[in-house]
């Protein structure tokens, strides 16, 4: 059995769907960040699969750019979560609205 681009696109769609479900269902900020990372990685898989199918390098360059942006997002996001957790002792997103003042 040969792996075609459709297998990679189906896998990317499944990973993206799991990430969307994680963001919409879970209220923990850490789980939401992991779900966002899962969605970004599924997009990277799509970029690389289409790039390989078409014989172009642009998809791989875009995937590398997305990984760099995701690393910066994780760094800043985790710093914010740690700061909120130190102050509130909870990573629940619904309780973050109470910090407005």
For the chain, domains (ranges, CATH) are 5-99 (1.10.287.3510)
* pLDDT confidence tier of residue 22, bands split at 50, 70 and 90: very high
Longest dimension (CA), the chain: 60
Q: Is the pLDDT of residue 95 over 60?
A: yes
pTM: 0.82
Indicate the pLDDT class of residue 101, thresholds 50, 70 and 90: low
Residue 99 has pLDDT above 70, yes or no: no
Residue 100 confidence (pLDDT) = 59
Q: How far apart are CA 13 and CA 24, in angstroms?
A: 16
* 59/13 Cα distance (integer angstroms): 17
């Amino acid at each position: 059995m040969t792996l075609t681009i459709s297998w990679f696109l189906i896998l990317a769609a499944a990973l993206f769907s799991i990430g969307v479900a994680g963001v919409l269902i879970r209220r923990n900020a850490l789980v939401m960040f992991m779900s966002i990372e899962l969605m970004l990685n599924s997009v990277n898989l799509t970029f690389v699969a289409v790039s390989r199918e078409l014989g172009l390098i642009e998809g791989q360059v875009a995937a590398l750019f997305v990984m760099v942006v995701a690393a910066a997002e994780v760094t800043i996001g985790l710093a914010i979560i740690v700061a909120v957790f130190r102050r509130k002792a909870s990573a629940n997103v619904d309780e973050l609205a109470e910090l407005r003042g």
